Amino acid sequence: MTKVVKIGNLKIGGKNPVRIKGMIKTPHSQIRKVISEAKRLEKEGAESIRIAVREDKDTKIAAVLKKHVSVPIVADIHFHYKLALGAIEEGFDGIRLNPSNISKEIHIRQVARVAKNYNVSIRVGVNSGGFKKEFANSKQLADDMVKRVQQFLKILEKENFFDVMVSLKGADVVSTIIANEMFSKKFDYPLHLGVTATGPFLEGVVKSSIGIGSLLSRGIGSVLRVSLAAPSFVEIQVAKHILQSLNLRRFEPDIISCPTCSRCEVNLIAIVDKCKKELALRAVDKSLKVAIMGCVVNGPGEAYQADIGVAFGGKDKAAIFKKDKILGWTDEKRVVGDLMREVTKIKGQGSGVKGQGRI
């Protein structure tokens, strides 16, 4: 079990739910867009928002954002320790420092002293891009990432500064997994998980899901940020799906639908998309499992195991199940409406994970 560290009022680590962080992608010069991006991130489910701070005037953004969102704001600092001092004084709730470009002991200790005074936590975040040498294998890179973080932690600890989170992100999934495993065996600081520089969107989703998901499934990781070549709110959506897939947190009903095959005589993919949208519009039990299956091969079985489900038995015939009972019959045109009507009748009986706990 890790120690608990706070970013503003947000508790991270220990028995707290695995948290979701988002990051602003709009330049500071487009302030209205920055604000609307922050609002969208919060609405989508980001529990803390990070923004790059590249020069002195950027530190003022904390106060601006705090007028529009209520989640804690974190400054992403590279190269200049004085920017960290300014960010803390201007009201950021947390700062991220990169040991690969802020490494002088005197500077780090000064930041730690000011952060302590202002009750601001620090994330020590190392990325594989910060290493100029070539590594023969992922293990060596992981080992070097952990060593670099370790040196930084020693300096912070000399100042009795322990409000620390750590991230070790590789562009390669394997080094990310190994580095986080190694670190979690030695330290009890909460780990912020992520895979960095993940490439095109689809590849990024796969790399993030495998890297973050495999660590979380072993109980490693207290907070995550998914990094994708996509709008920032999409990163939050993917983060939520990762957590929900591992039964760590629940954000929406779980849709169990088949991939379709040549047995399927309806446009099941469109039906699933419509159901997803309709479910999002309704105040339904988030722990529900809803099955939507294309034929009788696996359909009835999956529908029985879900809380409610529909299984097609041809183009014009589908059975709506509630657990092991057939509630009635429907067809391709009416299926979404009929299913939604039954879903909204179910209150507090969902069989999925409830609440926001850890595995």
Nearer to ligand SF4, 102 or 272 (CB): 272
State the Cα–Cα distance between residues 72 and 8, nearest whole angstrom.
6
Q: How far is the CB of 213 from ligand SF4 (least distance, A)?
A: 24
Q: Which is nearer to ligand SF4, 194 or 299 (CB)?
A: 299
Task: For residue 188, give every residue at least 6 positions away whose Cβ sits within 8 Å of its Cβ, in sequence order, or none.
Answer: 1, 2, 3
Q: Residue 261 CB, nearest distance to ligand SF4 (Å)?
A: 3
The residue to which tokens 């419509």 are assigned = 274
How far from chain centre, in Å, is Cα 270? 27
Closer CB to ligand SF4, 220 or 292, in the complex: 292
Q: What token pair was written down for 214? A: 């495999």
Termini Cα distance of the chain: 12
Q: How far is the CB of 275 from ligand SF4 (least distance, A)?
A: 15
In sequence order, what are the residues at sequence separation of 6 or more whose Cβ sits closer than 8 angstroms to the Cβ of residue 104? 81
The whole-angstrom separation of Cα 321 and Cα 310 is: 6
**CB of residue 313 to ligand SF4, shortest distance in Å:** 10
Helix and strand tally (H, E) in the chain? Answer: 11, 15
Compute the least distance from the CB of residue 318 to ligand SF4, in Å.
12
Q: Smallest distance from the beta carbon of 265 to ligand SF4, in angstroms? A: 9
Q: Which residues of 239-261 are buried (b: 16+ CB within 10 A; e: fewer)?
A: bbbbbbebebbbbbbbbbbbebe
- Given the structure tokens 């390669």, which residue do they identify? 172
Q: Based on CB atoms, which residue is closest to ligand SF4, 264 or 343?
A: 264
Closer CB to ligand SF4, 265 or 278, in the complex? 265
- CB of residue 296 vs ligand SF4: minimum separation in angstroms? 7
> Which is closer to ligand SF4, CB of 247 or CB of 260?
260
Q: And the tokens for 240?
A: 């939520």
Instruction: Rank residues 259 and 348 by Cβ distance to ligand SF4 and give the closer one.
Output: 259
Residues at the interface with ligand SF4 (CB under 6 A): 258-261, 263-264, 293-295, 297-299
Between vectors from CA 151 to CA 54 and to CA 166, what angle results, nearest 5°? 60
Residue number, 270 or 280, with CB nearest to ligand SF4 = 270
Query: Minimum CB separation from ligand SF4 for residue 309, in Å?
Result: 11
Residue number with CB closer to ligand SF4 (140 or 298): 298
Give strand pairing partners of 325. Answer: 322
158, 163, 164, 165: CA torsion to nearest 10:
170
Task: State the minimum distance, in angstroms, from the CB of residue 299 to ligand SF4.
Answer: 5
Helix (H) / strand (E) element for 109: namely helix 105-118
Question: Starting at the edge strand that comes first in sequence, how are the strands of the sheet with 94-97 ordered?
Answer: 164-169, 121-127, 94-97, 73-77, 48-52, 19-23, 223-224, 192-193
